[in-house]
Structure 1
Amino acid sequence: MAITPQWKDELRARITLSSLVQRSVKLTRAGREWKGCCPFHDEKTPSFYVNDQKQFYHCFGCGAHGDAISWMVDHAGLQFMDAIKELAGMAGMEVPAPDPIMAKKAEARASLIDVTEAAQRFFVESLSGPQGGAAREYLQRRGFSAQIMREFGFGWAPDDRQALPKALGQFGEDMLEAAGMRAANEQGERYDRFRGRVMLPIQDARGRVIAFGGRILDKRDGVAKYLNSPDTDLFDKGRTLYNLHRAAPAARQSGRVVVVEGYMDVIALANAGIADAVAPLGTALTEMQLELLWRMVEVPVLCFDGDAAGQRAAMRAIARALPMLAPMRSLGIVRLPSGLDPDDLIKQQGKAAMERLLAQPAQLIDTLWEFERDAQPLATPEAKAGLKARLMAHVETIADPEIKSLYRRELGDRFSAFAYPPRAPRAPLPPRQQPGQRGAWKGANLPPPGLSDEARAQLSAIMAGGQRQGLMAAVLAGLARYPGQISRHAEALSALARIAPEAAPVIESLFELAETLDSRGPHAICTPTQSQPAPSADIRYAFLDDGTDPDAACEDLAEAVSLLVERPALEAALAATISRFDSDPEGSFAEQTRLRAQLLAVEERLKAFGRRKAAAPVDSDENTA
């Protein structure tokens, strides 16, 4: 039988983790836990904790984390099965006999590793031989030190279609092909997959060679610059991170892991002394690779080129990560200067410049907001609504309910601040004309139209009702004075009629009477002396003053209409949002916050509008002009 998760759970339950750890680390009791100095990095103040109840250890300094099995692997240096056997002996448990099928697969994998390890030795020997001269010159031009070349196992694949069968005659053709070293064309001819390339071994988490990557020396048409091994029984590119076996110990020391776009970037960073870098292998980051990263640190740093392709790669990684976000588990994003990769940046500006960028990564949510905000022009309401729809579509992919709620609120607040910014103070009105002067209608050379005597009389009766004071009466009076503006504000007034039913009869009558406009009478629906609503005693509205230029008056009237309509609309929306709190508390709360902020902004505009009118000088002759 195989070692099942249930069997491992039973093994952990029988082991007291603190007793196991105390064999090599001094621990002291700290409440329900034990604490001590971390064995994975040098420290003077204890930050390493062991929790027997939860069966894990954790270091808040370097991020080391695991259970009894991982302790034996990471600290004692045992292989997995050796760790299992030793712990089982402590716990008085028998290790299950291996599954024959799984054992056969493990044996086959071990045989394939023999192939890849032998191929690695051949490539290294070829690099140091006569055929490897051009490759050695290329690596020297790149500035790689001899130590880095040995550490990362640089090699050379001769430009020979049959080099490997000659060099690795102990392995059959089928094994070479199963290990990804050989391929066959449509005619059945078999040939070496890697030819005329600088070779790099790809290793698993235990440091065993499982695949290869090769780079050509000179650009050639129709030839891929980089070539990786295909997926095999040894190698799954979506589950492998290049340099993981070196970066994991370094990450425990630095508390950081850096993800770059390719393995040459990893080596460039290592050459500069930055050892905690990994890279995917020719694909965007996968869910499994993200899990591997989060096992090392809580916030891996993704480093991308500053061009458009790098930005798209960052968004692909973010889209993969959003459904997997969890408390204390996110991503940091670093974008390099445009046109530079890590190697270029280090050569031009030094290691310190790279470290400064890595020390201040952007948050995932900041990168998401900036990418979608800048994705297309936002000059129209429809485009802005599209921005919000894209942001909320991202939020809906988040599985953790608390993080989803927080992202919805944060992105909603950012969108509201962007789409509904506070309005700048209006410019002072132009000098008023002499009393009695009339300006021309905006955009028209013909005399402004008016109403018939009958229409004017009906409107005067409506306006003589109870709402003679305040902003609504002033707006209606302004529209009576400038009937050409009624059609401009028809949609807003219709919305007001729906929201404020008490205003509906006046608004409907205003629409009906405006349709009867003719050119026989004065230009206003009612004259200043004929039943026009009186303005408030302490507020003067420019659009009701005879001396105001008509263009300025109409713009002032538009601001008044906007203020009149926006507040009840927001109040109605807020009431609807509150009513659905029980069914959607997270969404309702976020929407209430946004609407209350907008209401506050409208209140400030109303106050500013009132103060501006109150500050206007009162001409004692104005009402009799």
Structure 2
Amino acid sequence: MARIPKETIDQIIHLADIVEVVGDFVSLKKKGHNMWACCPFHHEKSPSFSVAPAKGLYKCFGCGKAGGVVQFIMDIEGSSYVEALKYLAKKYGVEIQEEEKTPEQQLAQNEKDSQFIVSNWAKDHYHRLLLESEEGQSIGLSYLRQRGLNQSTIQTFELGYSLDAWDDLLKSAQKEGFQAKYLEKTGLTIIREDEQGKDSGRRYDRFRGRVMFPIHNVSGRVIGFGARTLKANDKTAKYLNSPESDIYHKSDVLYGLYQARQAIRSEEVCYLVEGYLDVLSLYQGGIKNVVASSGTSLTESQIRLIGRYSENVTVLYDGDAAGIRASLRGIDMLLEGGLNVRVVLFPDGDDPDSYIRKVGDQRFKEHLESASQDFISFKTAVVAKEAAQDPVKKAEAIRDVLQSIAKVPDPIKRQVFLQQTSGAFGIDEQVLITEYNKLVKTATQKAPTSGGGAGAGSHNGGNSTWSNGQPAAAPRVPAPSMSPEEEAEMAMYGAMPENFATMGGGTITAPADDDMEPVPDLVQVCEREIVRLLVLYAAQPLTEEIAVAQYIFGQLEETPLRTPLYADLMHLCRQEMEQGRWPEVRNLIQHSRADIRAVVSDLATEKYDLSPNWSTHQIYVPRELDQLQQACDNAILRLNKVNVQRELAIQLDALRHPMDELTMLETLGNIKLLKEMDNRLGDLLGTVIPRGAM
């Protein structure tokens, strides 16, 4: 497999701005020195995902995902290190010179990359057929023109056409050298089975005689297809989608999000429609912040996708009453996801696509403004109309609306919606609050208890009851964790806190007592502190002549690190210095080894920023940067002390075994020397308790 030259990797990493790259996938907001957002890797309602521009890394304090710009693309895309580099190279216009590879070599990189590659090739094949083949032009292109789509829209969404033939794609793919198994895994071809259900050896194309709508993930890679038949009397389904695969999970995808994401962020609202053509027509009409659920029921994953880019979503419905009623549950899920939901209806018989073609772009935009209403008001009107003058149905309608209000996480919004509902139904607000509390209590009793995880302890729509209109008390916030230096200090005293997590993937020492929590290996903790100072402050001067990295390497020249990962990281830092460069987080975080990337991101991440109010009130808080000499000395002394204690334990253990007199005298001498060294190091650290003090 071809390698990307190191010079090219360095150029990609130098150009890649982590705020720009991460900002393509989530909406970042500045707080302190860092940028924050809700994590794209797990469900949460309060931002715990941090991006540190100065260090070029990201960290989620909820799920633990962390790394640099390359790791972020690997995590968000599920791609390999090489494919992540290629993505960034394309984004920043860096040309990658690789030796020519056959299709088989490309597909061999890994299973997912192989499916991405064959899907992209199929997209190009269908697009070329639409524009260049006689059948594609006369049938596919003609249909798209009739629907009012211009060349720019066709190119932007990379629309295509599949020939009305059993094996056109299959033969073309075989000619290009693609393996049949990847055509099958992505659902592009189907295996014909015999009567016994066994592979008959015959294969054919899934999509035949259809307009093709490539489905992109949020970074623009093709993961599947939607396809519309153009045959008037075709007995097959009008629309046919790719089956689920390793790269395509329909519940995690919104059609058009790749093209719409920047507009959603800038306009601060996402328009949600149902079909491919709705997206295409609105996008062409200047409404670029539009996505579609592609006819599937809305899922939590799709809602989280929208929430990455905006808290505001407007659902566009046609005027069909049955369709509206069936979709109300999906909007309840939007509310539960913490989004602000509005609704726009179109005249009966029109959908967004037909309406914008009928009235034009400007009048359509005016309708979006004038017809938009918040969802609770909309739902109230719908169910109240259905209830009419029937008291029993009216009571059911009120409970239905209250259940939607219970999905809203924000207590102030819930209060406002209760006031609106009270006015709409002509019922006392306190009566609604009482009924609301009953519904919430019932739902809470039925809900399974959670053992924690993402979102544990936060409000879950209906888990807070009110008394006299007042929200329940906020959940207790856990105390912040200790700093690495505090961890090392606690370790020296043998007083590690409960639930202390090991760092760097090292071992955990066995507990001294069955009732005690396991504690980390003290050597590993101390070595971690050495590496942390080296990674974060390598170039920082301690004196006019020496910097942190030079001081640490000079002091520990004869003390190799025992934790393999930390030893490897020290070696990388030494290599950087030998090549005339200071070790930097920005470079180390992009290393090809996943464990190196993980430990560097962990070492370099700080969850809390010092509040500017401290300096405003003239309260001086010493920074580690101002006390680097002391920090380095303490870290080195601690490491030396635990190494001495380890050797002392070995010598003491040796006395338990038979030995001759000369060896015993030598061992006793070593023990005396080691005890003296241990006491001297304790004096320097201030950890020796004087005699008589107890």
Task: Give TM-score, length-normalised by structure 1.
Answer: 0.52
- Looking at both structures, which has the greater relative contact order when contacts are Cα pairs under 8 Å and sequence separation is at least 6? 2
Structure 2 CA distance, aligned partners of 1:347 and 1:217?
20
Equivalent residue, structure 2, for 1:197: 210
2:95 matches 1:109: no
Equivalent residue, structure 1, for 2:173: 168
State the 1:219 CA deviation: 2.9
Give the alignment of 1:397-476 within 5 angstroms.
Answer: 397-398=407-408, 403-404=413-414, 406-417=416-427
Q: Deviations over 1:8-49 (max 9, x none)?
A: xxxxxxxxxxx997xx9xxxxxxxxxxxxxx99xxxxxxx96
Is the 2:315–2:344 Cα contact (8 Å) retained in structure 1? yes
2:341 matches 1:321: no
* Shift in alpha-carbon separation, 1:120–1:412, aligned structure 2, 3 A: same
Structure 2 CA distance, aligned partners of 1:322 and 1:52?
30
State the 1:150 CA deviation: 1.4
Give the alignment of 1:28-427 within 5 angstroms.
Answer: 50-52=30-32, 55-56=35-36, 67-68=50-51, 83-84=69-70, 107-127=110-130, 128-132=132-136, 133-169=138-174, 170-187=177-194, 188=199, 189-325=202-338, 329-360=339-370, 361-376=372-387, 378-398=388-408, 403-404=413-414, 406-417=416-427
SS at match of 2:386: coil
Q: Which amino acid aligns with 1:137?
A: S
State the 1:118 CA deviation: 1.0
Equivalent residue, structure 2, for 1:473: none
Q: Deviations over 1:348-378 (max 9, x none)?
A: 21111211122242101112211221234x3
Number of corresponding residues: 366
Structure 2 CA distance, aligned partners of 1:73 and 1:339?
51
Equivalent residue, structure 2, for 1:589: 468
Equivalent residue, structure 1, for 2:104: none
SS at match of 2:110: helix
Structure 1 CA distance, aligned partners of 2:53 and 2:225?
28
Is the 1:258–1:278 Cα contact (8 Å) retained in structure 2? yes
SS at match of 2:213: strand
* Shift in alpha-carbon separation, 1:65–1:343, aligned structure 2, 3 A: farther
State the 1:122 CA deviation: 1.2
* Shift in alpha-carbon separation, 1:148–1:70, aligned structure 2, 3 A: farther
State the 1:312 CA deviation: 2.8
Is the 2:274–2:293 Cα contact (8 Å) retained in structure 1? yes
Is the 1:345–1:353 Cα contact (8 Å) retained in structure 2? no
Q: Which amino acid aligns with 1:366?
A: S
Is the 2:380–2:421 Cα contact (8 Å) retained in structure 1? yes
Is the 2:57–2:67 Cα contact (8 Å) retained in structure 1? no
Structure 1 CA distance, aligned partners of 2:396 and 2:274?
31
Equivalent residue, structure 2, for 1:542: none
Structure 1 CA distance, aligned partners of 2:112 and 2:221?
11
SS at match of 1:589: coil
* Shift in alpha-carbon separation, 1:105–1:299, aligned structure 2, 3 A: farther
State the 1:415 CA deviation: 2.5
Structure 1 CA distance, aligned partners of 2:217 and 2:394?
47
Q: Gaps spanning 5+ residues in structure 2: where?
A: 1-16, 39-46, 59-65, 74-80, 85-106, 442-462, 471-694
Is the 2:314–2:341 Cα contact (8 Å) retained in structure 1? yes
State the 1:82 CA deviation: 6.1
SS at match of 1:143: coil
State the 1:153 CA deviation: 1.1
SS at match of 2:190: strand
* Shift in alpha-carbon separation, 1:356–1:386, aligned structure 2, 3 A: same
Is the 2:34–2:53 Cα contact (8 Å) retained in structure 1? no
SS at match of 2:226: strand
Structure 1 CA distance, aligned partners of 2:68 and 2:231?
47
Structure 1 CA distance, aligned partners of 2:71 and 2:396?
58
SS at match of 1:333: strand
Structure 1 CA distance, aligned partners of 2:72 and 2:407?
43
Is the 1:182–1:193 Cα contact (8 Å) retained in structure 2? yes
State the 1:308 CA deviation: 2.1
Q: Which amino acid aligns with 2:468?
A: F
SS at match of 1:375: helix
Larger Rg: 1
Structure 1 CA distance, aligned partners of 2:315 and 2:143?
28
Is the 1:176–1:182 Cα contact (8 Å) retained in structure 2? yes
Structure 1 CA distance, aligned partners of 2:158 and 2:406?
45
Structure 2 CA distance, aligned partners of 1:289 and 1:153?
22
Q: Which amino acid aligns with 1:375?
A: E
* Shift in alpha-carbon separation, 1:273–1:386, aligned structure 2, 3 A: closer
Is the 2:163–2:209 Cα contact (8 Å) retained in structure 1? yes
Q: Which amino acid aligns with 2:133?
A: G
Task: Give TM-score, length-normalised by structure 2.
Answer: 0.47
SS at match of 1:110: helix
Q: Gaps spanning 5+ residues in structure 1: where?
A: 1-18, 25-38, 41-47, 59-63, 75-79, 88-94, 99-103, 421-569, 592-625
Is the 1:260–1:279 Cα contact (8 Å) retained in structure 2? yes
Structure 1 CA distance, aligned partners of 2:120 and 2:373?
40
Structure 2 CA distance, aligned partners of 1:155 and 1:358?
30
Structure 2 CA distance, aligned partners of 1:150 and 1:386?
50
State the 1:416 CA deviation: 2.9
Is the 1:304–1:313 Cα contact (8 Å) retained in structure 2? no
SS at match of 1:219: coil
Q: Percent identity?
A: 29
Is the 2:119–2:224 Cα contact (8 Å) retained in structure 1? yes
Equivalent residue, structure 2, for 1:430: none
